[in-house]
Structure 1
Amino acid sequence: MDVVLPCLDEAEALPWVLERIPSGWRAIVVDNGSTDGSADIARSLGAHVLHEPRRGFGAACHAGLTAATADVVCFCDCDASLDPARLPAIAGLVLDGSADLVLGRRRPVTRHAWPLHARLANLELARLIHRRTGLRLHDLGPMRAARRRPLLALNLTDRRSGYPLQMLVRAADAGWQVMETDVPYRPRTGRSKVTGTWRGTWQAVRDMRAVLAERPAAGKVHAETPRGAGR
């Protein structure tokens, strides 16, 4: 399995994150302009390191996806808020055909793990996602898994905060089976680039509203339906 880990100044979190990658899996750390030595740390710990010069969460994620070679690709934040040891359970639901896209629904382990403004933004996104796609979800799910070739066929274009949402919307438009499963959510190591401030959070929401405004082209499907869809 390949695990894409978008990274921007996560030197403090990387050792814990990388030691939790399942044995035999490949960690693809995509450095997005770090100035704290994150890339060197990741490389020294055995990760496959890429450099993505275009700033943006989506740019880093997509660079990792295009570099992946495994049948199933996972995505995970690189800030130690999510435990990569949980990834086999996420990927397993794709491998056994239970779902085509599996999202880890964040369940905070402490009151401080998820700031109130970020939770409110997430609730609003869940409402908008349901209105746009019909999917009843609770979380956008930064820990996720899907098959690589169908993911690439979605032709994702967002390179900022809207990338995870665009993946979900286009998967829904293509008839994929989407599933949530609970994962523990811990206080992140370091300050968030998005949810650390009200301004950052609502900027991300604004980016995502633009994605939700997308409509599939008439008579076209964005991507192939993966094996197991519709079950």
Structure 2
Amino acid sequence: MEQLYKPIEIAKKLNISTNMLRYYEDKGLVPRPDRTNNRYRKYYQVHFIYFETVQAMSIGYSFEVISNIMSDIQNESIDDGLWLLNNVHVQNRTDYELLYKLKEKAEEMNQHDEKLMRIGDLSKEFAVSTTAIRYWEEKGYIMSMRDADNPYRHYSESGYIKAGILKIVKSINYSSEIVELKDKLKLGDSVDEIKLIILHVERLLNKRNEEQLKGAHHLYRLINYLKHI
């Protein structure tokens, strides 16, 4: 007979609260469990593996990605879910390539006459809206320069690099490390400070890469389990 789990047993195994289990269930990330006559949830091994997978993926992947993948799996569209996962990893590579470009840009800072860029140039360069760039400026992450007789915003090389960093950071799950990084963006404009910020972002990307690998491993285990039941 298949093993039954109480919510508290799964919560303890995964080191999360029973409220979090209910949250995952309410959001459709795990299959709806049957109920006893007393309305208690009946969790089986398949539920435990779903919960374990969601919890493992929650560190490296966004909630939207996890939700869509779990929906595909429960609808027996596993290939769709795996291609979605692949798209995330492709974007990760794009982020890393952008960071490498910013690293090269930082090496060139102060080695030539600085070329200023307009907000529209930054918007096209990083495929972000001008509204987002203005928001970053309002928050103090980047600064623009304006002449008294010229209303247009102009951004320096450090502003260019910071905008690229903020584009990358948008795809990383929110954490205390992201808050720390953004605080550094407010303070740092020198070449050395910019280089340290880039190293910080590189560590975050490497960490996310490792966390996603762990999450993908649990996802593979879930899919393999479902194929054999």
So what's the TM-score if we normalise by structure 2? 0.25
Richer in strand (by share): 1
Question: What TM-score comes out, normalization by structure 1 length?
Answer: 0.24
Bigger radius of gyration among the two: 2
Q: Would you tell me which structure has more helix in proportion to its own residues?
A: 2
